[in-house]
Amino acid sequence: MTRRFFRLLAWQLLLLFACALPPARAADDTVEITRATIEAAEEGYRLSAAYSFELNHGLEDALQFGVTLYFTTEVEFTRPRWYWMDEKAVKVKRTFSIAYNVLTRQYHVGPVGSVRQSFSTLEDALFLLRRPSRWVVAPRGALKVGEVYNVTLRMGMDRDYLPKPIQVNAFNNSEWRLASNKKTFLYRAE
């Protein structure tokens, strides 16, 4: 009887400690924006960004079985106004795809509708997604020189490009929710 009481007490204490611990946050569920700057160039304004993320086991498996994954970066320039809602100067999106070819055992990464690069390892392919080349997000003249703009950046997996049967599963499965929080910073147009 006493032994049974102590076992029950030990289980209750373990349960109490387990509940008291902070919940473990999965490192694979978010994209962290580690760098984001706007640079003025002759052809317009370029976004220079870097992201930090890992594919979770479910996404890696889907990629290995031939499902192409899509990652979209959204950039929005708004100018605050005191008398009305913020002026939306520029809003652009760019989507990259990553696919695995089982026959050639290579990963293919590139912008949707453009030439894709081939890589032999997943790490090399993800490097291109994590550190994309600078791209023109606004042409010259789209922003008023000297004005301060709020730049909002977001990057994440775009489930809208997935095939419909997988899309249904992806919207209900937390493994398919790889996205960043919005990052907002100020930029004075040059």
Q: Can you tell me the mean pLDDT for 148-167?
A: 91
Secondary structure E strands in 42-189: 44-52, 69-79, 87-101, 106-111, 117-119, 135-139, 148-157, 179-180, 183-188
Claim: this prediction has a pTM higher than 0.85: no
Write the single-letter amino acid at 21. L
126-139 pLDDT, tens digit per residue, is 999 999 988 999 99
Q: What percent of the chain has pLDDT over 70?
A: 85
Q: Can you tell me the mean pLDDT for 56-78?
A: 94
Q: Can you tell me the mean pLDDT for 156-178?
A: 85
Buried b (16+ CB within 10 A) or exposed e, 94-129: bebbbbbeeeeebbbbeeeeeebeebeeeeebbebb
CA dist., res. 151 & res. 130, Å (int): 19
